Structure 1
Amino acid sequence: MPDLPLSVEERRLRDHLVAQVDAHGRAIVEVAGDKDGAPYTFSVGVWQRYGIPEAVTIGLPEGAGRHLIDAYIDRASQGEEFPPGQVWDDLLEGVLVTVERVNRGHYFEFFGSVFLLHPDGDFDAVQLITATPEDDWPWEADAPPGFDLWQPVLTESGLPESWTPGVDGP
C-alpha cells in the first residue's frame, strides 16, 4: 500500500492511537459484529512499542477480546513467548487459547488502523484463537456448526498452518 497523504479524519485517528500507545503502551480497537461477521478486537502500536506482534481475536463477547489482548500484551512485552500451537489456560479465565500467525492477506481487513502507523504493512501479527467452553477448536469436526465461520483462522488455508492439529498443537 503506497504512503498516501492522510485525510484530516485519518490524521485525527492516527494521533488518537499514538496518544493511546504513548499513555498505555497500546491502543485496542474493538469492532462490533454485524450480519457479515463476528465482532473482533485488535491491538495497535505494540509492534512499534515492544517489537511483539500485533494481535487479533475474533468472536468474543464485548470486553472479552480487550481483556485477552491486554493479557497477551502484558506478558509478551515482559518477554514471554507465544509460539503458535501452544495452548494457554490462563490468558482468559475458563477459556483455552492458542496462537497462529496471521497471513498478510488478512492484514488490511483485520488490522486496518495499524496501517496508519505502518502504511506498508511492515508489522507481524498473530491471532489469539479461543476454544468453546467445551474445549472445541474451530477446525475440529465436532465443533459447533458455524463456529469456523464465527471464528475464522486467518491463515491462507483457513486452517492452522504453523502446527498440525492433534499432533503438535490443539
Structure 2
Amino acid sequence: MPIEVPDCHCVLCQELTELDWRTRTTADTVIEHGWQVLMVPADDAGPGWAYTIGLWHKHGLPELAMFGLDARVMHQLLNDLAKAAVNGEPAAADQERHGIVKGYPVVLKSVDYRWYEAFFGTAIGFYRRPPFDFLQVVWPSRDGAFPWQPGGDDLLNRQPRLWLHPDEHPVGVWTQDL
C-alpha cells in the first residue's frame, strides 16, 4: 500500500488516464512491483545508465541512479538496493553500502536537481514535477578509489558527478549536451 507522499503530483496520485505508452508502462509496473528500473543503454555518445521510478511514490524513498556499468548489471544492483531500502535498510545521502557490488563498497550521493532533465526524463513524466529525490549510486575504481578521491579521476567518463552543480562538473561526455 502506498504511503502518503506530501505534494505528490505523479500520474497515479492525479489519477491521469491519458498517458503515453512509456508513462503507462511505468505506472503499471509501479502499481504491480512498487518501482521500475529504467535502463538507458550505452551508445556512441557515451556510457549507459539506469534509474528507479516509483520508490518515492510507493515507499517515500529516494529514487536511485547508477551509471557506467552494463545496463543489466545496473538493473540488478538497483533492484537489490531498492529491495533492501523497502525492507528496512533505507538509502541516504553520503551513505556507504557494502554487499551491493561484489568486493567493493558503493557510496550514495544526492543528485543536484539541475541534472534531472538531462538524465531522468521518464521520472519527470511520471512524477510531473518535483519534489522527488534522487541518489546516485557511485562505484569505485578497481583500486577502490571513488571519483572524488586521488586515483578516481579515470572514472569521470564512466559515471558523472551529479552531486555537483552542472557548472562545477568537469567537462566531458556527461556535459557535452548541456
Shift of 1:144: 5.7
Q: Which runs of 5+ in 2 are unaligned?
A: 1-15, 171-178
**SS at the partner of 1:150?**
coil
CA–CA distance in structure 1, aligned partners of residues 24 and 84 of structure 2: 26
Please report the RMSD computed on the Cα atoms of aligned residues, expressed in angstroms. 2.2
Matched, 1:137 2:132: no
- Aligned residue pairs total 152
**Quick one: which of 122, 147, 159 aligns to 2:131?**
122
CA–CA distance in structure 2, aligned partners of residues 26 and 63 of structure 1: 16
Contact 1:67–1:92 (CA under 8 A) maintained in structure 2: no
Per the alignment, residue 149 of structure 1 pairs with 157
Per the alignment, residue 163 of structure 1 pairs with none
Contact 1:100–1:129 (CA under 8 A) maintained in structure 2: yes
TM-score, with length taken from structure 2: 0.77
Contact 2:66–2:74 (CA under 8 A) maintained in structure 1: yes
Q: Which runs of 5+ in 1 are unaligned?
A: 1-5, 160-170
CA–CA distance in structure 1, aligned partners of residues 85 and 169 of structure 2: 25
Per the alignment, residue 3 of structure 2 pairs with none
The 5 A counterparts of 1:1-170 are 11-143=20-152, 145=154, 147-155=155-163, 156=165, 157-158=168-169
Aligned identity (percent) is 23
CA–CA distance in structure 1, aligned partners of residues 121 and 49 of structure 2: 12
CA–CA distance in structure 1, aligned partners of residues 159 and 85 of structure 2: 23
